[in-house]
Chains A and B, each alone.
Chain A
Amino acid sequence: MKMLTAHDLKTGAVVYWSGDGRWTPRIADAALLEDAAAAEALKAAEAAETVIVHPYLVPMDQPAAPIARERVRELIRARGPSTHPEFARP
């Protein structure tokens, strides 16, 4: 299973593909995609050049829980720098 993430082109903010046509700032709202659907979503995202930048897939085994090498990195990306709890995102 995978989720699709990227950055908002104008602001650089972290966003996730919700699976229903929207990009959302909350990792909890990211769609959990099977491999084929994930590849397709990535392809569509790569074409959405005027909306987002640097889309990529992250391996997951359940919602909001990235796994493997990306685990810590993606959790920090989802929440904000661990050194600035005041900027933390829900």
Chain B
Amino acid sequence: MYRYDEFDAEIVRERIEEFRAQVERRLKGEITEDQFKPLRLMNGLYLQLHAYMLRVAIPYGTLSSRQLARLARIARDFDKGYGHFTTRQNIQYNWVRLVDVVPILEALAEVEMHAIQTSGNCIRNVTADHFAAAAADEVDDPRVWSEIIRQWSTFHPEFSFLPRKFKIAVTAAETDRAAVQVHDIGLHLKKRDGKLAFTVYVGGGQGRTPFVAPAIRDDLAPEDLLSYLEAILRVYNRAGRRDNLYKSRIKILVSALGAEEFARQVEEEWRLSDRARIDLPADEEQRIRDYFAPPCFRTLKDADAGFEAARARDAAFARWVSTNVHSHRTPGYASVTISLKPVGGIPGDATAAQMEAVAALGKRYSFDEIRVSHEQNLILPHVEKADLHDLWQALKENGLATPNAGLISDIIACPGLDYCDLANARSIPIAQGISNRFADLEQQAQIGELKIKISGCINACGHHHVGHIGILGVDKHGEEFYQILLGGRGDERAKLGKITGKGLPAEAIPDAIARIVARYIALRTDESERFIDAYERLGPKPFEEALYAEIKELAA
């Protein structure tokens, strides 16, 4: 696994010392808030509705037990005993005090963590498939490339002051679990004629003006990655609009130029660039690859008799297995989704005790590795099938065994107006309302895969544009209203959801979702046709009709 090297450790230490001095000067009034704000943001510290919020980076969502246990301790010692895992594979602490931030950063540095690149107009924490190095459909470990990008981009002098923040995501599996096509740059590594090649998507994004990124290359040799990324960033840095916040993202530039013209400019820039200087030598790539050496899997038969017996005997366990256990490429192993979405709970929140429990279970059952998924769950990537029943029981004791991964209550929700200074409306209570409405897990399983994503404002931190059902909070004269979107998806066939008619008040949402679901159940060919498949076959009309049915009756 990645360990930050000497260079990183030194820089992180220097940054903490620098920040300590900056905080002291701020407290003494030697610098103003206007001067201090960009400095604290560079260290991941925001001011939110109730308090300061600290965002800590979890590069490509990979954690060791020791790191997760440390995150738990910080939650207990410096916060109100919990943390919030985000769609960007980060963790946010909602209640930190300014005077505690330096001690927190020190505690993080001891376990090789930090809050750098979680804010500001730089290349942000690179995200990746949470089943990296475990998924059967993978051609390479995407974290190797994420880490190469991280090392290249961290403190890159040319790219520390971009027109706007910049997000890169990487997947190397057939199924895209990292939503790469809605990032500024999405990298999808595939096998092409027996060789690895990146498909390069540029100019995707959500927010006010959402775009699914066009692919500008589908045959980029991995060894050319950094020089090619640098060429993209150069074109953007030169031409991106710095004068208008809403037009400053690369997606606006790509859309204004057209993908072809943008690609042409990138190719030209790339051909002229000093590629030998930028690209990573093979031995460097190998050095980084070694960080991600696979664990020492045992040689096992794929089927495990004890596991099969437990599954046959214990229906609750079998249900959890069918949703939260995923096939692994190594015989006898599986990956496990630990749901942070208990019925009626707060999506993505974990208490200190839960984090500690998962840290211990990761150590015991998953080679000391834990992942954070962009769907706000935790993952144990490498569990022996023979251990699954014991693991499930331990998770149950900690309220972490909800069998709902991928189901209607596995909702993504941003913090919304309960925490966020930019929000128009609350998101979390909407998620809770839907989750309670569908509390019957049997019913959820019958509905099947359905991804609901909720944002409290147009910034789209909750990915509402790519939810099968998306929900967007809007403000109407001081009241919270919710706009519903249908048919979005964030996978390898990414699409933006279609905005339906007028917004609904919070209390109408659970029933509105229930009507859409009932219509889907009535119309699906059989259980194998997922909601999104039925939507794509039938179009929005029947679902929109169902959504507004009751409302029309009321009006009539």
Contacts and interface: CB of A to CB of B under 8 A. Distances in A.
A69 B457 CA distance: 14
Contacts of A70: 478
Nearest to B33: A53
B50 A69 contact: no
Contact of A11 (B80, B97, B346, B480): B97
Contact of A81 (B47, B419, B425): B419
Interface stretch (B280-288, B426-434, B515-523): B426-434
Interface stretch (B13-21, B24-32, B384-392): B24-32
A50 B80 contact: no
A69 B97 contact: no
A50 B36 CA distance: 12
Interface string B97-122: 11100000000000000000000000
A43 interface: no
B52 A12 contact: yes
B96 interface: yes
Given A7-B51, A53-B47, A72 B417 contact: yes
A50 B99 CA distance: 13
A76 B49 contact: yes
A81 to B, nearest CB: 4
B98 A10 contact: yes
Contacts of A71: 478
Contacts of A77: 49-50
Given A10-B99, A50-B28, A87-B80, A72 B47 contact: no
A73 to B, nearest CB: 6
A30 to B, nearest CB: 16
B269 interface: no
B418 A72 contact: no
B417 A69 contact: no
B429 A50 contact: no
A54 B34 CA distance: 10
Given A11-B97, A12-B47, A73-B49, A82 B29 contact: no
A9 B50 contact: no
A6 B49 CA distance: 10
A53 B126 CA distance: 32
B170 interface: no
Interface in A72-88: 72-73, 76-77, 80-84, 87
Contacts of A36: none
Contacts of A83: 346, 418, 426, 428-429, 432
A54, A76, A81 — most chain B CB neighbours (10 Å): A81
Contact of B423 (A10, A49, A73): A73
A13 interface: yes
A57 interface: no
A73 B425 CA distance: 8
Interface in A8-25: 9-14
A71 B50 CA distance: 15
A80 B50 contact: yes
A39 interface: no
Nearest to B425: A72
A33 B477 CA distance: 23
A13 B51 contact: yes
B51 A12 contact: yes
Contacts of A69: 475, 477-478
Contacts of A67: 478
B125 to A, nearest CB: 23
Contact of B98 (A11, A68, A81, A87): A11
A82 B426 contact: yes
Nearest to A68: B478
Contacts of B426: 72, 76, 82-83
Contacts of A53: 33, 47
Contacts of B98: 9-12
A12 B33 contact: no
A32 B475 CA distance: 25
Nearest to A87: B80
Given A12-B52, A81-B419, A83-B428, A54 B479 contact: no
Nearest to B97: A11
B238 to A, nearest CB: 35
Given A73-B417, A81-B419, A10 B478 contact: no
A54 B51 contact: no
A71 B542 CA distance: 37
A66 to B, nearest CB: 9
Contact of A12 (B96, B418, B480): B96
Contacts of A10: 27, 97-99
Contacts of B52: 12
Contacts of B478: 67-72
A13 B98 CA distance: 10
Nearest to A54: B47
A13 B80 CA distance: 13
B94 to A, nearest CB: 8
Contacts of B26: 9
Interface in B18-69: 26-29, 32-33, 47, 49-52
Given A9-B27, A50-B28, A81 B50 contact: yes
A26 to B, nearest CB: 14
19 contacts: A7-B47, A10-B27, A10-B99, A11-B99, A12-B50, A12-B52, A12-B95, A12-B98, A13-B50, A14-B49, A14-B50, A49-B33, A54-B33, A73-B417, A76-B49, A76-B418, A77-B50, A83-B426, A83-B428
Interface of B: 26-29, 32-33, 47, 49-52, 80, 95-99, 346, 417-419, 423, 425-426, 428-429, 432, 475, 477-480
Given A10-B99, A11-B51, 12 more contacts: A9-B26, A11-B98, A12-B47, A12-B50, A12-B51, A13-B51, A14-B50, A50-B27, A68-B478, A73-B423, A77-B49, A81-B50
- Closest A-B pairs by Cβ, 6 of them: A12-B51, A81-B418, A12-B52, A50-B29, A71-B478, A11-B97
